[in-house]
Amino acid sequence: MIGPGESFAEMLSHLWHILPFALLFSLPVAALGGVALYVLRRGSLATTLTVLVLIPVLATLVGVLGISGFMFTPALTTMLLVCLLVALVTVPAAIILGRAIARRSVWEREARERERAAEASRRELVAWISHDLRSPLAGIQAMAEALADGVVSERDEVADYAQRISGETKRLSAMVGDLFELSRITAGALELTMSAVPLRDVVSDAVAAQAPVAQRKRVRVLASASTWPVVTGSDPELARIVRNLVSNAIRHTPPDGTVAVEIGVDGDEALLAVDDSCGGIPDDEITRVFDVAFRGTQARTPERGGTTSGGGLGLAIAKGLVEAHRGRIGVQNHGPGCRFEVRLPLAMP
C-alpha cells in the first residue's frame, strides 16, 4: 500500500507531467481570446465582457480535452458538463452586467456633458450680467448726478434726462424679470396651471402689446390663421412665448420690414410660426440662438428708451416655456429672414 507521503508525491509528479500539455493546449486559446478582445476594444461593453468570460472557460475545456486525448471517459464527460453549465450561467450574466455598465457609463458621460454645458451657460450669464446691467446703471448714475449737481437746469433738458432715466429703468426691470423667469425654468421651479387655451386670444394680445414698438420702428406685424386651435397650457406663459418671439422678430427686422405670425394645425399639434426679415442667421450660429445670452454677430443694441431688454434671454425663456408645455421649438432660415416654429399639444376635445 502506498503511504500518504508517496501518494502526494505521485500526485505532484503527475501534475508536473501534464502541466506542459495543459499549457500547450490552453495558451493558444487564451492568445486568440486576447486578440479578439483587442479587435473588439471599440465594440459594445456587453460583447467584450462575454468574450472575457468565455476565454477561461474555453481555455479550460480545450486543455482538458487535449490532456485526455479526446477519450470521453465519465470524468471527462462530467468536466465538459461542468464547463457547459458555467458558460450557461456566466455568459448571460456577463451580457446583463455589460449592458448595465454601458448604460451607467453613457448616463455618467451625458451627466458630465450637461454639467459642463450648464457651467458654461452660468459663466456666459455672469459675463452678460456684468456687461449689460453695468451700462444702464452707469447711465442712470451719470444722469442722476448731473441732475443733483445742477449741471442740467433747463426744463426741457431735465425732462429729457428724466425720460431717459425712466427708459433705462424699464430696461433694467425687463432684464431682472427675464433673469427671474429664467432662474425658475432652469431650477425646475416653474409651476403651470394647465387649461384649454384658445391661441386666438393669446396671439391677439401679444401682437397688440408689441404694436407700439413695431410702429416706432416702422415694422408691419401681420397675423393669419388657417384655423385657430385650442391648446393645453398656461395662459400667461403661452402669452410670454408669443410675446418673446414677436419681440425678437421686430427687433431684428429692419425698418419697413414685415413680421408674419401664422397659426395652424399639423396632425395632433398646434403650429405657431413667426417669420421675420432679418436677412437670415449664419449656419454656425443658428444652433445657438436659444442659448442663454446669445445674441449673435448681427445683434443690435436696443433703442434708447425701448421696453425690450435685448439681453439675449427672450429666446432661451421661450424655449424653456415651450418645453415646459411638452412642446417643441425650432428655427430655420426662411425667405428674407428666419422662421421660428412652435408646436404645442392640442387640447383634448
> What is the average per-residue pLDDT within 71-76?
70
Domains and CATH numbers, the chain: 4-106 (no CATH), 194-345 (3.30.565.10)
Q: Which residues of 141-161 are buried (b: 16+ CB within 10 A; e: fewer)?
A: eebeeebeeeebeeeeeeeeb
Question: What pLDDT is attached to residue 3?
Answer: 46
Summarize pLDDT for 256-286 with one digit per residue, the tens. Answer: 999 999 999 988 899 999 999 888 888 888 8
Residue 199 has pLDDT above 50, yes or no: yes
Looking at mean pLDDT, say which of 53-57, 148-152, 212-216 comes out highest: 212-216
Residue 193 has pLDDT above 50, yes or no: yes
Residue 55 has pLDDT above 80, yes or no: no
Average pLDDT, the chain: 79
Question: What pLDDT is attached to residue 301?
Answer: 36
Length of the chain: 349
What share of the chain has pLDDT > 70, as a percent?
A: 83
DSSP 307-321: S---SS-HHHHHHHH
The closest of 33, 99, 37 to 60, measured between CA atoms, is 33
Summarize pLDDT for 222-239 with one digit per residue, the tens. Answer: 999 888 999 999 998 999
Element (H, E) at 95: helix 74-128
Element (H, E) at 58: helix 45-68
- 340: Cβ contacts below 8 Å, ≥ 6 apart: 245, 248, 249, 273, 274, 315, 329, 330, 331
Summarize pLDDT for 285-342 with one digit per residue, the tens. Answer: 888 888 776 666 554 334 444 444 445 688 888 999 999 999 999 999 988 889 999 9
Give the span between the Cα atoms of 61 and 53, in whole angstroms.
13
What share of the chain has pLDDT > 90, as a percent?
A: 21
Q: CA 333, 285, 321 angle in degrees (round to 5)?
A: 80
The closest of 211, 210, 253 to 340, measured between CA atoms, is 253
Which pTM value belongs to this model?
0.59
Give the span between the Cα atoms of 214 and 334, in whole angstroms.
21
Selected residue with higher pLDDT from 147 and 25: 147
Question: What pLDDT is attached to residue 302?
Answer: 40
Selected residue with higher pLDDT from 39 and 10: 39
Summarize pLDDT for 96-153 with one digit per residue, the tens. Answer: 777 777 777 777 788 788 778 767 766 766 776 676 777 778 888 888 888 888 777 7
